[in-house]
Amino acid sequence: MRLSKKIIDYVMRETAGERAIDLITYLRNKKNVSEFKIADDLKKDIKEVRTTLYLLVNFNLVSSIRKKDKTKGWYIYYWTVNTDQIKYLVKSIKEKKLEKLKERIDRETNSLFFVCGNNCLRLNFDSATEFEFKCPECGLLMNQEDNAGIIENLEKEKLLIETTI
């Protein structure tokens, strides 16, 4: 799998967040870059860079080695992107999303839904029966909803994941 910008952005949004995109994009084709150099090159505060790095560590998306700085006497961390982990995550995130979407589409296709005219609630058949088809919020009679549009949108979403990510 080639790691396109689109895939990387997608994985970051689903894991460490939008703010990690710049850092990963910068770091992805490099190896063992010191956190100070990262901060310099990205023109960001070292604290901000560290926060983002630790977010990425939580998902095993980056790893580091540390070396003692001879003159200053403290440790400096050098960072590398775990490319295989991005590949693994994109696959597992996609699979989970597709599974959820399929379940949702199943539910929408195989059940009836009821809504009240004031749009307070949306109930499935069993719950609507419990309330005798009267909205528990406003008391209005609930009507069966045409959910074809919802299903269509879910199908589109599914196709988008299947074909583009």
Binding site for Zn ion (CB under 5 A): 116, 118, 120, 135, 137-138, 140
Looking at the Cβ atoms of 79 and 114, the one nearer to Zn ion is 114
Report whether 114 contacts 62 (CB < 8 A). Answer: no
CB of 130 to Zn ion, least distance (A): 15
Q: Three-state SS for 158? A: helix
Q: Are residues 47 and 127 in contact, defined by beta-carbon separation less than 8 angstroms?
A: no
SS3 137: coil
Give the nearest distance from C-beta 128 to Zn ion in angstroms.
12
> Which of residues 140 and 165 has its CB atom nearest to Zn ion in the complex?
140
Q: Closer to Zn ion at the Cβ: 96 or 134?
A: 134
For residue 108, the minimal CB distance to Zn ion (Å) is 21
In three-state secondary structure terms, 17 is coil
